[in-house]
A and B are shown apart, each in its own frame.
Chain A
Amino acid sequence: QSALTQPASVSGSPGQSITISCTGTSSDIGDYNYVSWFQQHPGKAPKLMIFDVSNRPSGVSHRFSGSKSGNTASLTISGLQTDDEADYYCSSYTSSSTLVFGGGTKLTVL
Chain B
Amino acid sequence: QLQLQQSGPGLVKPSETLSLTCTVSGGSIRSSTYYWGWIRQPPGKGLEWIGSIFYSGSTYYNPSLKSRVTMSVDTSKNQFSLKLTSVSAADTAVYYCARQFWTWYFDYWGQGTLVTVSS
Asked if B48 CB lies within 8 Å of chain A CBs, one says yes
Asked if B26 CB lies within 8 Å of chain A CBs, one says no
> Contact residues of B with A, CB < 8 Å?
37, 39, 46-49, 52, 60-64, 96, 101, 103-107, 109-112
The answer to whether B52 touches A45 (Cβ under 8 A) is no
B39 → A minimal CB distance (Å): 8
- Please give, as numbers and ranges, the residues of chain B lying within 8 Å of A104 by CB-CB distance: 46-47
Chain A CB within 10 A, most for which of B39, B62, B104, B111: B104
The answer to whether B60 touches A98 (Cβ under 8 A) is yes
Partner of A34, one of B60, B61, B103, B107: B103
Partner of A51, one of B39, B63, B64, B101: B101
The answer to whether B104 touches A99 (Cβ under 8 A) is yes
Take A3-B46, A104-B46 as given contacts and tell me if A51 and B107 are in contact as well, using a CB distance cutoff of 8 Å.
yes
Report the number of A-B residue pairs with Cβ-Cβ less than 8 Å: 65
A7 → B minimal CB distance (Å): 13
Lowest 3 CB-CB distances: which A-B pairs, in order?
A36-B105, A51-B105, A93-B104
CA distance A28 to B101 in the complex (A): 17
Take A98-B62, A98-B63 as given contacts and tell me if A46 and B47 are in contact as well, using a CB distance cutoff of 8 Å.
yes
A41-67 to B contact mask, C-beta < 8 Å, 1/0:
000011110011000010000000000
Take A1-B63, A45-B111, A45-B112 as given contacts and tell me if A89 and B46 are in contact as well, using a CB distance cutoff of 8 Å.
yes
CA distance A53 to B22 in the complex (A): 28
Take A48-B106, A51-B101, A93-B103 as given contacts and tell me if A101 and B46 are in contact as well, using a CB distance cutoff of 8 Å.
yes
- Please give, as numbers and ranges, the residues of chain A lying within 8 Å of B107 by CB-CB distance: 48, 51, 57
CB closest residue in chain A, given B37: A99
CA distance A104 to B42 in the complex (A): 13
- Please give, as numbers and ranges, the residues of chain B lying within 8 Å of A101 by CB-CB distance: 39, 46-49
